[in-house]
Amino acid sequence: MADRILVTGGAGYIGSHACKALAAAGLVPVTYDNLCTGWRDAVKFGPFEQGDLLDRDRLDQVFAEHRPVAVMHFAALSQVGEAMVQPGKYWRGNVCASLTLIEAALAAGVRDFVFSSTCATYGDHDGVVLDEATPQQPLNSYGASKRAIEDMLRDFGASDGLRSVIFRYFNVAGADPDAQVGEFHQPETHLVPLILDAIDGRRPALTIHGSDYPTPDGTCIRDYVHVMDLVDAHVLGLNWLRAGNGPQGGGTEVFCLGTGNGFSVREVIDNARHVSNRAVPVTEGPRRGGDAVKLVSGSEKAGRVLGWRPDRSTLPAMIGDAWRWHQTGGYGG
């Protein structure tokens, strides 16, 4: 019988792609999701258990029934704007929920834990390539809550022998090349699907927030990683842990995931125009507060230790796969 992996947030964008990758690796992903932002239709590769991470009794029940050998933790609140005005929601929904999950996992004898963190823990380090040693100075409760979860994992590594891998990354784009699952948020806030919505008339136009940045085309630059490359890293990290790597007796290892090369907003728009062979209606607006000029993340350590290569993380591949998924209409139809 194949080993089972508990995947929190497995009905969401990244989690559903991770479930497909786990199934392809011969494992059984057990999705645990409250469907607050996830979609039941996205659960296609293993069992589904609906529940909230703050519900310890429900978690204990799921651990007892499925007996997973590891946890892959994606579930989180992640809207930066909301985090700025509702910090309590983020400390409760991210930190308290993760604490409950960690304690439930340990009580069930599960010691291997893969955590999906964020480069938002770094705060504003404009214009440098972020790596694992970059100081963490989060600017809001989203980044701060993720950093606190990283700290918890270290503490439980020291006290209970928890073995964890932490992945930090910025922008994720693309979709399953087979279009079985993809990116579908309501409301949508991510650049690539917003562009595709504008192309096919689901919104009047894409708004460029700031066109006077000190960059070659005046728009800010971000690092994008294909979602399939990203979840491949999570599977590699899981296998690395299960092979007995990492700090002996418990501990955590951090990996940044990025290409080290950013793309401007206009570059993303131009590639979407080319891929779809359609015009992209665009309007220009003022800068948003807190937006850095350029944010990119390296992955030298992930390549060296895990053998990870973000080979699919090119704009044509990411937008092409996203466009193929976009044409299916998404979930909930």
Return the pLDDT at 120.
82
Return the pLDDT at 333.
54
d(CA 141, CA 221): 23
Q: Could you tell me if 236 and 277 are in contact, meaning their C-beta atoms sit under 8 angstroms apart?
A: no
Classify residue 189 as exposed, middle or buried by CB count within 10 Å of its CB (0-12, 13-18, 19+).
exposed
Angstrom distances, CA of residue 134 to CA of 99, 120, 122, 128:
25, 12, 7, 9
pLDDT > 70? residue 134 = yes
Q: State the average pLDDT for the chain.
A: 92
Superfamily of domain 191-223+260-326: UDP-galactose 4-epimerase, domain 1 (3.90.25.10)
Residues annotated as catalytic (active site), given as ranges: 142
CATH fold for domain 4-173+224-257: Rossmann fold (3.40.50)
Return the pLDDT at 68.
98
Name the 3-class secondary structure at 48.
strand
Return the pLDDT at 60.
98
Residues in the chain, overall count = 333
Return the pLDDT at 290.
67
Dihedral angle computed from the Cα positions of residues 211, 172, 254 and 164, in that order, rounded to the nearest 10 degrees: 150
Quick: pLDDT tens for 263-280: 999 999 999 999 999 999
Tell me the Cα Rg of the chain.
Answer: 19
Return the pLDDT at 233.
98
Q: Helices (DSSP H) in the chain: which residue ranges?
A: 13-24, 56-66, 80-85, 87-90, 97-107, 141-160, 191-199, 227-242, 265-276, 300-301, 315-326
Domain boundaries, the chain: 4-173+224-257, 191-223+260-326
Cα 195 from chain centroid (whole Å): 20
Quick: pLDDT tens for 140-187: 888 899 999 999 999 999 999 999 999 999 899 999 999 999 999 888
